[in-house]
Amino acid sequence: MNINDLDAIRADTPACESLIHFNNAGASLMPLPVQQAVAKHLKLEASIGGYEAEHQANNDLQSFYEEFATLLNASAEEIAYVENATRAWDMAFYGLPLEDGDRILTHDSEYVSNYLALMQQAKRRNLHIDLIPSDEHGQVDVSAIGELITDRTKLIAITHVPTQGGLVNPVKEIGKVAKEHGLIYMIDACQSAGQIVLDVKELQCDVLTGTGRKFLRGPRGTGFLYVRKAFLNELDPPFVDLHSADWISDDKFEFASTTKRFENWESYIAGRVGLMHAVRYANALGVANIERRVFSLGKTLREQLSTQKDVQVHDLGLHQCGIVTLTKKGLDANKLVDQCREAGINLSVSTFTSARLDFGKRNLDSLVRSSVHYFNTEDEIDRFVQVVDSL
């Protein structure tokens, strides 16, 4: 498969014939090899039984770790399957060695579920949350981090690409600061995995999490967790089962020696198989190639929308990805999305409740979120802009 063979790519995405899918930051369209792998496994479960089907899928289940290792420039033993990005992030965060009085650095673009967890643990364990200011582009001000670090600062937790816009936070530069000061570094890559190159060695992160359903084009109900091998034993998993640990004597157990210690025995096998094929598909295209095309399409969409009367684009950041947010004067965001859906265009809405700190600072209530992927076209962008203009 070649990223330039758009006809073949769109043939693998049959829904392109009947709609324009600009909701890839919500849930992308699965390519046929992924959809067929999921359907095949579910049919096998119905034919021979769940356990037996899992046994037959063993090669694909093992390949899951290898494909993610390639995607992230990690080792297979540093990868775990988790049922979604939030649970993957929680499994690591709730296992961190944080103590009374410790401080956490984050940014006001942090994802709502992550920030809720930060607040809950702050209340439970007397932790303190410090917000890194934004620079003139609206992204994390890397130069300001050093001034916020105290002898009680233990963690930097950053969302790479926030749910509410095209901002791409400078996670590589943040990683350098984290390592210089010996801090734990967690990256939420939920919106970047599959559209942006992620090299965990270059990022110098201890933990990185993501989902399957967005830019990786995998099934819903799938996600992944990366934990750096040398950091693994610093974490105490918040719960354990017979898959994540071995019961070695009547009063003793041992965790699995790899990041699989964060997995559950029971999981969505068809989804795991599908996600493996989705990552394999992305690896075959090359994420660097995907990133170039998605960023280019995002730039084109942003520029065209910016020329439209009564339309305002709201994306922050020095570097911007395939997520493009907008408002149209006099038209509620939900109504705009509904009317576009009637015209065969899929979008979504980002609301104040999912980005309270960011939206509050910018005096925003909601934004229309459009998000392109490599299978989208310039013609689809033209059509979308025309529809928005006509509303």
Q: How far is CA 229 from CA 11, 177, 203, in A?
A: 40, 20, 15
What is residue 245's predicted lDDT score, i.e. its pLDDT? 96
What is residue 53's predicted lDDT score, i.e. its pLDDT? 98
Helix (H) or strand (E) run with residue 154 in it: strand 153-159
Residues near 64 by beta carbon (within 8 Å), at least 6 away in sequence = 79, 81, 272, 273, 275, 276, 279
What pLDDT digit, counting tens, does each position of 263-284 carry? 999 999 999 999 999 999 999 9
- Is the pLDDT at 1 greater than 90? The verdict is no
What is residue 285's predicted lDDT score, i.e. its pLDDT? 98
In the chain, % of residues over pLDDT 70? 100
Class of domain 6-30+286-390: alpha beta
What pLDDT digit, counting tens, does each position of 46-90 carry? 999 999 999 999 999 999 999 999 999 999 999 999 999 999 999
Sign, Cα dihedral of 3, 374, 109, 206 = negative
Helix (H) or strand (E) run with residue 387 in it: helix 378-390
How far apart are alpha carbons 197 and 182 in whole angstroms? Answer: 25
How far apart are alpha carbons 44 and 57 in whole angstroms? Answer: 10
Over residues 371-385, the mean pLDDT reads 98
What is residue 387's predicted lDDT score, i.e. its pLDDT? 98
8-state DSSP, 101: T
Residues in the chain, total: 391
Asked if residues 222 and 272 have their Cβ atoms less than 8 Å apart, the reply is: yes
Over residues 16-25, the mean pLDDT reads 98
What is the average pLDDT score of the chain? 97
How far apart are alpha carbons 68 and 276 in whole angstroms? Answer: 8
Per domain, the residue ranges of the chain are: 6-30+286-390, 37-284
Q: What pTM was computed for the model?
A: 0.97
Select from 256, 169, 207 the least CA-distant residue to 88: 207
Which two three-digit tokens encode residue 373?
A: 């992927």
What is residue 68's predicted lDDT score, i.e. its pLDDT? 98
Asked if residues 317 and 137 have their Cβ atoms less than 8 Å apart, the reply is: yes
How far apart are alpha carbons 288 and 299 in whole angstroms? Answer: 16
Select from 163, 187, 146 the least CA-distant residue to 358: 163
Task: Answer yes or no: CATH 3.40.50.300 is held by domain 37-284.
Answer: no
CA dihedral 30, 24, 215, 315 (to 10 degrees): 170
In the chain, % of residues over pLDDT 90? 100
Number of other residues whose CB lies within 10 A of the CB of residue 379: 9
- Is the pLDDT at 39 greater than 90? The verdict is yes
What pLDDT digit, counting tens, does each position of 153-174 carry? 999 999 999 999 999 999 999 9
What pLDDT digit, counting tens, does each position of 334-366 carry? 999 999 999 999 999 999 999 999 999 999 999
Which two three-digit tokens encode residue 105?
A: 């650095």
